[in-house]
Structure 1
Amino acid sequence: MVSLWENWRRGAGMGRRGPKFDTFGGPSAYAVELTKRHSSVSLTEQGADSGSMRVNLSWRMRSSDFDGVGRPRGSLRHPLQALKPQVVQAHTQGVVNVDLDLACMYELTDGGKGVVQPLGNFLGDWNGPPYVKLTGDDRFGSPSGETIYVNLDHKDSIKRLLFFVYIYDGTPAFDRTHAVLTLFPSNGPRVEVNLDQRAPQARSCAVLLMQHEKGQLTVRREVRYVYGFQAELDRLYGWGLQWGRGYKAGKS
């Protein structure tokens, strides 16, 4: 019989040295978090530069009961408050309504440029250019979040991809949300970027840049907030697209 201690050690990855990877060739349960200090990773070195890559945005609303340093107010008088989570899953009347959208600017090696986003119903294409496909629009921060798929079997046709998040509707309140962008490659560890900086008035955030560097496909953490929308991100990264006002389905 395997002891509870042995089960815990195996689950925590202590039964072997180094991070635990799946052995069947699929995506690993191990995650690489990109930070300011360690901001990039080579997908080629990870063996993760082919097949289907899922890019997911998920977010939760922060509780208004906590101050800027993340500690519960009045914790000395109410010590049990420290046991409560610092974020809540659902939108309530007491929480700012924030609608985060995941999008991607693309530039192809043949010179083609564009955007994949909910606004204007630019959902992209999986089998043809730009080999980037948006699957839907989540307006409520559900656990499944929003997802973009990238067909890395055509990586040689892709020059660069900029994954960004913007607040289309409601109050600009990145500081009231806890958002995570996660890459799930077909092989190797997933890659996570946390949008954890305080930018209360920002409308958009460039999160992750995927591009070819020295013969390898790499991803680099950006997390650059701007106070405008796509056009401002375009100028920041020199995309050179023409922008107009767009609307979501059912909104005007």
Structure 2
Amino acid sequence: MGIDYTKRPASPPPAQPPPPQQGGYPPPPPPQQGGYPPPPPQQGGYPPPPPPQQGGYPPPPPPQQGGYPPPQQQGGYPQQGGQPQQQPGVSLSKVTLTKSAPAVSLRKHGGQGGVLRVNLNWNARPQQQKGLFRKNTQLDLDLGCLYEFADGSKGVVQALGNAFQADMRTTGEVLISLDGDDRSGAVSGGENMSINLQDVAKIRRVLVFALIYEGAANWASADGLLTIYPVGAPPIEVRLDDPRDGARICAVAQLINNNGELVIQREVNYLNGAQRALDEAYGWGMNWTAGRK
């Protein structure tokens, strides 16, 4: 029987896959319904992150020991129940000049500059006079000052003689002015004087005084108080205490330029006489003539 080379032999049936061997890898598990299979845990790897909390953000980590303090509140306001921090070296209450503490520096006090206001207030209680025709008289205190400027100008500011202001001889600039004359003491604001401290170098010294113009020379009855108001600083008080009966003028305080630093010094020096006696006691060297209001 001959072989027909034009015909191909029939293909054998496909071979069946061999059964899994014992000890081999198991087939992969079927996928979970609706999600991805969890990754297998790795040996020696990092632990998986904790599951997120339900319905919120994870809590912030606790502050580290020795770390930085928490930031201040927005707006700079102190916390509830706290007190605002005070600036060092600046007193928030008035300053009273006494025998034991007679002077204060305006620079250190925080008020050197601007316009310095000087106020004199007193009690104008009636003075009883003896005799058949008794009458009540009130004290009339006058606020004034002797001044000396850097250009050599010197003089007096007072209601007497209508000398209500002081100006520099070279420029005509007014540095000191008196606002008026309270003849009764009934004005609640008393008498006020303004001293321009915009340029401290223009002022050498200013001696502030109080004068009893009318009424008995009884300073205890007057109970005078001089208050100095620097710009941006607490007031400075000088009480006219330790009165000396019979004296009609009192040097209350002196403003001195000490190498560019203005110092207010308590005087409270009662003198017999008037402005001439004050001039001689403090060496102003001016000529005086009689005058009236």
- Return the TM-score normalized by structure 2: 0.63
1:47-78 C-alpha deviation (Å, 9 max, x unpaired): 211001110000114698xxxxxxxxxxxxxx
Q: Are the counterparts in 1 of residues 126 and 139 from structure 2 also a CA contact under 8 Å? A: no
How far 1:150 sits from its partner (Å)?
0.6
| Structure number with bigger Rg | 2
Matches within 5 A, 1:156-235: 156-235=201-280
The residue aligned with 2:105 is: 42
2:151 is equivalent to residue 110 of structure 1: yes
1:119 is displaced (CA, Å) by 0.3
Amino acid at match of 1:155: V
Which of 66, 74, 99 is matched with 2:140 structurally?
99
Shift of 1:41: 0.1
Q: More strand by proportion, 1 or 2?
A: 1
Contact conserved, 2:155 with 2:166, CA < 8 A, in 1?
Answer: no
Superposed displacement of residue 148, structure 1: 0.3
Mean Cα deviation higher: 95-104 or 160-169:
95-104
Identity among equivalent positions (%) equals 40
Superposed CA RMSD: 2.8
**Match of residue 194 from structure 2:** 149
| Cα distance change on mapping 1:125 and 1:240 into 2, 3 Å | closer
Which string of whole-angstrom CA distances, capped at 9 and with x for unpartnered residues, describes residues 172-212 of structure 1? 11121111000011111110000011212110000000011
Give the C-alpha shift of residue 214 in structure 1: 4.2
Mapped partners of 2:152, 2:267: distance in 1? 23
8 Å CA contact 1:108, 1:130 repeated in 2:
no
* Number of positions where the alignment pairs a residue of Structure 1 with one of Structure 2: 202
- Structure 1 residues 207-216 or 158-167, which shifts more? 207-216
1:237 correspondence with 2:282: yes
Is the 1:209–1:219 contact (alpha carbons within 8 Å) kept by the matching residues of 2?
yes
- 1:138 — aligned with what? 182
> Could you say if the C-alpha distance between residues 180 and 17 of structure 1 is closer, same or farther in structure 2, counting changes exceeding 3 Å?
farther
User: What is the distance in 1 between the residues matched to 2:125 and 2:241?
Assistant: 11
SS in 2 for 1:196: coil
Q: Distance in 2 between matches of 1:95 and 1:17?
A: 53
1:53 matched to which residue of 2?
A: 116
Alignment of 1:56-135 (within 5 A): 56-61=119-124, 96-125=137-166, 128-129=172-173, 131-135=175-179
Match of 1:67 in 2: none
Distance 1:62 1:217 in 2: 36
Distance 1:130 1:219 in 2: 21
Contact 1:205/1:226 (8 A) holds in 2: yes
Q: SS in structure 1 opposite 2:161?
A: helix
Contact 1:118–1:136 under 8 Å retained in 2:
yes
User: Structure 2: which 5+ residue stretches go unaligned?
Assistant: 1-82, 128-133
Asked whether the 8 Å contact 1:21–1:29 carries over to 2, the reply is no
> What SS does the corresponding residue of 1:189 show, helix, strand or coil?
coil
Q: Secondary structure at the match of 2:199?
A: helix
Instruction: Calculate the TM-score normalised by the size of structure 1.
Output: 0.73
The answer for unaligned runs of 5 or more in structure 1 is: 1-14, 23-27, 65-92
Alignment of 1:8-19 (within 5 A): none
Change (3 A) 1:29 1:149: farther
Q: Which stretch shows the higher mean deviation, 120-129 or 41-50?
A: 120-129
Which whole-Å CA distance do the structure 2 matches of 1:143 and 1:161 have between them? 25
